[in-house]
């Protein structure tokens, strides 16, 4: 377990140090109006939605699944909330809007779960349906417009501070709750059992379908909250760009964190590290001033490096003294 | 068998450890051209590990492998195969959806104009099949053939290349007597051509029939290498299990039959499923061992799956304790105290990437629901109890089940159900592919459980075993229940029923 987190940890530290070299003030924290500001805080704040989605994705992947629809679900949540709020500055309207959005997201998760657990469709295909259709739904809700709102209560979700950014507090709270709920109960073990061998689990009496269904609903709700953070941060819902490609970042975060796409054993701590690596990477691109046309290439190089150092084969090939440790 | 010629394979001082398990310790092994060499040992003795070390699946921690006198270090089975070492594993490792010819020549297809030359491929495959005397259409899809034929196709694939060493890892465990004879004929042909054959089987009769030489392993160490004619069975068994044979005989004697007249625990009335098993009636009493006898494909497993709710019955009903039980799935069967150990340990039984501990408590945990985890203390007690009671090795609860040998995996699966204290335990081929030591332990366990009042439905392809252990025998043929026999019956009676042409009237017990 420790070993699995070692390399992602080193990668994250290395990225942060790179930032420090380029921008000596990167680690500096300052307090302004009771809020914490600084490079690290920005990483946490901007990484919160990815982290939240990656938590849901971790459980889905642990059951041998994958959820490609999270980005679209995030866009739907943003659209529904902002359309409901409209021009109202009311805190009540904001709360109701968010509640409606999250209930809708849960329903979308039920749909994914139905396709995967109920009908037995391959997860990548099943969630591809909502990935493409979801953006369309969000466009319908916003009628193709960017919906801007001016609601202080809503702004808090993505842009607010209680010393730390509220968004990262929400993500970390969800992470803590999930860790408790899966490791202090038997849920984690059952999820892993279903992921490793669904048929054996069914024959051992595990409610495999219910578990699979539950993780898709959970992943969709996580995506919904992440969508609220993203749109709240800019006080606007844009069906086209909210949460675009975030599913890829989330999947990457999970994989970098050491959870296998083949299902089974998962690591929430690994996912946390993975999400932070992805966000630090994005931040690094801006701080060290990588030219926009090579941004994606730069990201790709870092991700490939992280994946390579995690692969035992690649490490063995790179290492000069073989099998010295054992 | 020419000891004067140098060995084709020589392994020296091989050691290999997995997390928590010392799989091999300083093992020497040699294999001569033109001999059939049997690798003997109990489950977990290290047979499969040694083979996988030879074929490049595992890299040994120390020791050297010499092929024809030259040191080699294969890092993949592909390399080993190129060097002339072909392997046929216990489970058929072929692509079921491809044709026979494609399977035989996969990765080395004859080419023409940059594409695959299919006519040439079929001709070449037919040639290879003819060499071992198998006559099937090379263009037919593999999965349309029975497992036994698939096994022969796997051998055809192994010898389609220039093969100096052929490794057969329990090739006979799913074959019937005629198919085994066919396999042995093929093995003799290859041996006389100078191929060195490494053979693993749990059937002693087969080993004594075919092997020229044997190497015995125990607990990952080498016990000895002997010519078959110099080592009698008694000495071989003692060497394998490391104790005197008397202990084994005592176990056999303990499994005495007795007729049970307790209340009926589970009753099936006209239970059936189209295409799987014709409607049947069956009573199982508490404390009774009911044996299911029949050939492969006679509906044994299908019957068991209906009783457990793994498949839904489309006719009849199941009555437990006098009240009809509607089986919606395994959960309702488990709730009624029915447990089912599948014959397919890997596919339907164990969760390979979880630990022994997690596998042991899985069924109990599933019954409790996720929100009520089995308390740590109880878990430890159960694990400790069953590791000791079933002699599971390694006795390390954190070892991943994937790293265990077949017999130990079977014991873990058994323990998972024993933890739930079932009233009816359905065992589908619990002793297949495991050695006599573990087999005797499992048989004794069945007897003990029955004496304590558990009903057991015992399924095995080995009729000898069914006849010895069961209080009552249910005979199946062609997906019909054709008879019930008393425990005192002989194998001949069972075989006669199975072989008999007209479906006889049901013989009351």
- Say if the Cβ atoms of B368 and A186 lie within 8 Å: yes
Is A63 inside a domain boundary?
Answer: yes
Residues of A in contact with B367 (CB under 8 A): 205
Q: Which residue has the higher pLDDT, B505 or B217?
A: B217
**pLDDT given for residue B296 in this prediction:** 67
Contact list in A for residue B373 (CB cut-off 8 A) is 184-186
Give mean pLDDT, residues B143-151.
81
Pair of tokens at residue B67: 């092929």
- pLDDT tier, A204 (very low <50, low <70, confident <90, very high otherwise): very high
Contact A186 B330 (CB under 8 A): no
Cβ of A197 and B347 within 8 Å? Answer: yes
DSSP B187-216: HHHHHHTT-EEEEE-S-HHHHHHH-SEEEE
pLDDT value for A247: 94
Instruction: Centre a 10 Å sphere on the Cβ of residue B452 and count the other Cβ atoms it contains.
Output: 10
Q: In A, which residues are within 8 Å of B61 by CB distance?
A: 323, 326
Return the higher-pLDDT residue of B133 and B337.
B337
Token code pair at residue A314? 């690649």
Q: Give the whole-angstrom CA distance, residue B31 versus residue B215.
A: 10
| DSSP 8-state assignment for residue B35 | -
Any domain includes A305 = no
A309 lies in some domain = no
How high is the pLDDT of residue B258?
57
Query: Quick check: is A62 in a domain?
Result: yes
Across the interface, whether the CB atoms of A202 and B351 are under 8 A apart is answered no
- Which of A311-320, B8-17, B383-392 has the weakest average pLDDT? A311-320
Instruction: With a cut of 60, say whether residue A322 has pLDDT above it.
Output: no
Lowest mean pLDDT, pick from A90-104, B28-42, B258-272: B258-272
Q: Does residue A132 fall inside a structural domain?
A: yes
Between A296-300, A308-312, B33-37, B49-53, the lowest mean confidence (pLDDT) is in A308-312
Number of Cβ within 10 Å of residue B13's Cβ equals 14
Which residues contact residue A6 at a Cβ distance below 8 angstroms, ignoring those fewer than 6 apart? none
- Tens of pLDDT along B229-256? 998 877 887 787 775 545 445 444 444 5
Token pair for A180: 């408790």
Banded model confidence at residue B149, pLDDT cuts 50, 70, 90: confident
| pLDDT in the model for residue B246 | 52
Kindly determine whether residue B366 and residue A206, on different chains, have CB atoms separated by under 8 Å: yes
Question: The domain that contains A251 carries what CATH number?
Answer: 1.10.3470
Instruction: Indicate whether A303 belongs to any domain.
Output: no
Query: What count of other Cβ atoms lies within 10 Å of the Cβ of residue B92?
Result: 20
Q: Do A185 and B370 touch (CB under 8 A)?
A: yes
Q: How far apart are CA B279 and CA B277, in angstroms?
A: 6
User: Which residues from chain B sit within 8 angstroms of residue A204, using beta carbons?
Assistant: 330, 362-363, 366, 416
Evaluate if residue B508 carries a pLDDT over 60: no
Q: Which domain holds residue A280?
A: 2-289
CB A305, CB A39: distance < 8 Å: no
| For residues B126-154, average pLDDT | 86
B residues 59-98 lying closer than 8 A (beta carbon) to A: 61
Contacts of A158 (CB under 8 A, 6+ apart): A166, A167, A228, A229, A230, A231, A232, A233, A234
Residues 6+ away with beta carbon under 8 Å from B409: B345, B346, B349, B350, B401
Distance separating alpha carbons of residues A273 and A294, to the nearest angstrom: 25
Contacts of B362 in chain A (CB under 8 A): 189, 193, 201, 204, 206
B353 and chain A in contact, CB less than 8 A: yes
Average pLDDT over residues B451-456: 93
At B402 the three-state DSSP class reads helix
- pLDDT the model gives residue B244: 53
Nearest CB to A203; choose among B310, B354, B365:
B310
H or E element at residue B493: helix B491-499
Residue B433 has pLDDT above 80, yes or no: no
Place of tokens 């034929």: B149
Quote ipTM for the complex: 0.84
pLDDT the model gives residue B259: 63
- Is residue A295 in some structural domain? no
Confidence tier at A321 by pLDDT (50, 70, 90): very low
What is the pLDDT, as a whole number, of residue B386? 94
- Return the bridge partners of B11, or none: B29, B65
Query: B213 pLDDT exceeds 90?
Result: yes
Among residues B175, B93, B206, the alpha carbon closest in space to that of B432 is found at B175
- Contact criterion met (CB < 8 Å) for A204 and B330: yes
Kindly state the tokens that stand for B127.
């040639």
According to the model, what pLDDT value does residue A109 have?
97
- Return d(Cα B279, Cα B481) in angstroms, integer: 8
CA pair distance B326, B313, nearest whole angstrom: 10
% of chain B beyond a pLDDT of 70: 91
The pLDDT assigned to B3 comes to 54
Q: Which residues contact B399 (CB under 8 A, 6 or more apart)?
A: B19, B20, B21, B355, B356
Q: How confident is the model at residue A325 (pLDDT cuts 50, 70, 90)?
A: very low
pLDDT of B6 reads: 87
Rounded Cα distance, A165 and A44, in Å: 8
What is the rounded (10 degree) CA torsion for A24, A26, A27, A28? 90
Does residue B426 belong to the interface with chain A, where contact is any CB pair within 8 Å?
Answer: no
What is the bridge-based pairing of β-strands B480-486 and B472-477? Answer: antiparallel
Average pLDDT, chain B: 86
Confidence tier at A302 by pLDDT (50, 70, 90)? confident
Token output for B360: 């042991």
Task: Answer yes or no: are the C-beta atoms of A267 and A2 closer than 8 Å.
Answer: no
Residues 6+ apart with CB under 8 A from A248: none
Contacts with B310 from chain A: Cβ below 8 Å:
203
Q: Would you say residue A299 lies in a domain?
A: no
- CA A278 to chain centroid, in Å, comes to 10
- Among B residues 395-424, those touching chain A with beta carbons less than 8 Å apart: 416
CB contact under 8 A, A189 and B61: no
Shortest alpha-carbon distance between residue B19 and chain A (Å)? 11
Question: B349, A196 in Cβ contact below 8 A?
Answer: no
How far lies B404's CA from each of A216, B45, B172, B356, B411, in Å? 33, 11, 21, 9, 10
Strand partners for A30: A37
Highest mean pLDDT among A225-234, B139-148, B441-450: A225-234
Q: Kindly list the residues of chain A whose beta carbon comes within 8 Å of any beta carbon in chain B.
A: 184-187, 189-190, 192-193, 196-197, 199-207, 211, 264-265, 323, 326
Phi, psi of A103 (to 5 degrees): -65, -40
Total number of domains in chain A:
1
| Confidence at residue A319, expressed as pLDDT on a 0 to 100 scale | 64
pLDDT digits 0-9 by tens, A48-86: 999 999 999 999 999 999 999 999 999 999 999 999 999
Residue B478 backbone phi and psi in degrees, to 5: 50, 45
- Residue of A4, A183, A186, A218 for testing the chain B interface, max B β-carbons within 10 Å: A186
Does B366 contact A201 at a Cβ distance shorter than 8 Å? yes
What string of DSSP letters covers A18-53? HHHHH-TTTT-EEEETTEEEEHHHHHHHHHHHHHHH
More confident residue, B243 or A131: A131
Give the count of beta carbons closer than 10 Å to the beta carbon of residue A318: 10
User: Coil, helix or strand for A116?
Assistant: helix
Query: How many whole angstroms separate alpha carbon A191 and alpha carbon A195?
Result: 6
Question: Any CB–CB contact under 8 A between B250 and chain A?
Answer: no
Distances from the Cα of A36 to the Cαs of A28, A40, A246, in angstroms? 10, 10, 26
Contact flag B330-A205 (C-beta cutoff 8 Å): yes
Task: Identify all chain B residues contacting A265, using CB atoms and an 8 Å cutoff.
Answer: 353
Report CB contact under 8 Å: A204, B362: yes
pLDDT value for B506: 44
**pLDDT grade, residue B502 (50/70/90)?**
very low
Does pLDDT of B305 surpass 90?
A: yes
CA distance A258 to chain B (A): 15
Query: From CA A257, how far away is CA A58, in angstroms rounded?
Result: 9
Alpha carbons B382 and B390: distance in angstroms, whole number: 12
């Amino acid at each position: 377990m420790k070993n699995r987190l070692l390399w992602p940890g080193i990668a994250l530290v290395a990225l942060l140090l790179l930032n420090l070299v380029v921008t000596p003030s990167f680690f500096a924290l300052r307090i302004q109006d009771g809020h914490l500001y600084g490079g690290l805080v920005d990483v946490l704040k901007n990484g919160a939605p990815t982290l939240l989605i990656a938590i849901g994705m971790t459980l889905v992947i642990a059951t041998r699944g994958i959820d490609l629809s999270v980005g679209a679900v995030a866009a739907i949540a943003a659209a529904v909330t902002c359309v409901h709020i409209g021009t109202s500055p009311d805190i009540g309207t904001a709360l109701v809007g968010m509640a409606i959005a999250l209930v809708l997201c849960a329903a979308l998760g039920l749909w994914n779960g139905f396709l995967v657990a109920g009908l037995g469709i391959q997860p990548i295909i099943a969630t591809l349906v909502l990935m493409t259709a979801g953006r369309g739904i969000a466009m319908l809700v916003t009628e193709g417009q960017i919906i801007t709102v001016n609601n202080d209560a809503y702004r808090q979700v993505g842009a607010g501070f209680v010393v730390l950014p509220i968004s990262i507090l929400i993500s970390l709270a969800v992470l803590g709750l999930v860790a408790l709920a899966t490791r202090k109960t038997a849920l984690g073990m059952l999820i892993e059992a279903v992921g490793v061998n669904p048929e054996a689990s069914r024959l051992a009496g595990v409610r495999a379908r219910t578990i699979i269904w539950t993780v898709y609903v959970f992943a969709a709700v996580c995506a919904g909250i992440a969508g609220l953070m993203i749109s709240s941060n800019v006080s606007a819902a844009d069906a086209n760009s909210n949460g675009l490609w975030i599913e890829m970042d989330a999947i990457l975060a999970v994989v970098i964190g050491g959870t296998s796409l083949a299902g089974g054993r998962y690591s929430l701590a690994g996912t946390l590290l993975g999400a932070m690596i992805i966000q630090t990477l994005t931040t690094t691109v801006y701080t060290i001033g990588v030219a926009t046309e090579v941004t994606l290439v730069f990201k790709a190089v870092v991700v490939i490096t992280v994946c390579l150092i995690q692969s035992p084969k690649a490490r063995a090939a790179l290492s000069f003294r073989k099998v010295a440790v054992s | 068998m020419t000891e004067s010629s140098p060995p084709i394979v020589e392994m020296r001082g091989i050691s290999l450890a997995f997390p928590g398990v010392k799989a091999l310790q300083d093992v020497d092994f040699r294999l001569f051209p033109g001999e059939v060499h049997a690798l003997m040992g109990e489950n977990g003795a290290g047979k499969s590990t040694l083979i996988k070390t030879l074929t490049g699946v595992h890299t040994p921690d120390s020791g050297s492998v010499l092929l024809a006198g030259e040191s080699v270090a294969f890092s993949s089975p592909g390399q080993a195969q190129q060097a002339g070492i072909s392997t046929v594993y216990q489970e058929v490792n072929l692509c079921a959806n491809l044709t026979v010819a494609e399977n035989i020549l996969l990765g080395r297809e004859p080419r023409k104009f940059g594409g695959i030359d299919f006519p040439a491929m079929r001709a070449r495959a037919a040639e290879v099949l003819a060499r071992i005397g198998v006559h099937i259409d090379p263009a037919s899809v593999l999965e349309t053939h029975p497992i036994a034929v698939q096994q022969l196709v796997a051998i055809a694939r192994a010898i389609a290349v220039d093969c100096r060493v052929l490794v057969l890892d329990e090739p006979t465990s799913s074959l019937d007597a005629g198919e085994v004879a066919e396999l042995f004929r093929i093995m003799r042909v290859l041996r006389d051509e100078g191929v060195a054959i490494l053979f693993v089987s749990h059937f002693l009769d087969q080993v004594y029939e075919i092997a020229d030489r044997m190497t015995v392993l125990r607990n990952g160490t080498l016990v000895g290498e002997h010519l078959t004619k110099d080592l009698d069975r008694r000495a071989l068994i003692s060497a394998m299990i490391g104790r005197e044979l008397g202990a084994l005989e005592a176990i056999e004697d303990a499994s005495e039959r007795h007729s049970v007249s307790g209340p009926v625990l589970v009753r099936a009335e006209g239970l059936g499923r189209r295409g799987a098993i014709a409607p049947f009636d069956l009573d199982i009493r508490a404390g009774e061992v009911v044996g299911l006898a029949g050939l492969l494909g006679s509906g044994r497993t299908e019957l068991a799956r209906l009783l457990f709710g793994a498949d839904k019955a489309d006719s009849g009903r199941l009555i437990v304790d006098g009240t009809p039980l509607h089986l919606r799935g395994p959960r309702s069967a488990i709730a009624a105290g029915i447990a089912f150990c599948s014959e397919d340990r890997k596919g339907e039984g164990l969760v390979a990437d979880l630990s022994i501990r997690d596998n042991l408590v899985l069924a109990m945990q599933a019954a409790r629901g996720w929100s009520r985890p089995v308390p740590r203390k109880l878990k430890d007690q159960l694990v400790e109890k069953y590791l000791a009671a079933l002699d599971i090795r390694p006795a390390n609860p954190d070892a991943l089940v994937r790293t265990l040998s077949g017999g130990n995996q079977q014991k873990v699966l058994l323990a998972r159900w024993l933890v739930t204290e079932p009233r009816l335990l359905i065992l589908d081929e619990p002793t297949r592919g495991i050695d006599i030591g573990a087999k005797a332990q499992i048989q004794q366990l069945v007897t003990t459980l029955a004496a304590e009042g558990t009903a057991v439905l015992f399924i095995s392809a080995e009729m000898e075993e069914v006849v010895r252990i069961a209080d009552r025998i249910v005979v199946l043929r062609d997906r019909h229940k054709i008879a019930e026999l008393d425990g005192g019956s002989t194998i001949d009676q069972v075989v006669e029923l199975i072989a008999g042409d007209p479906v006889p009237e049901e013989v009351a017990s």
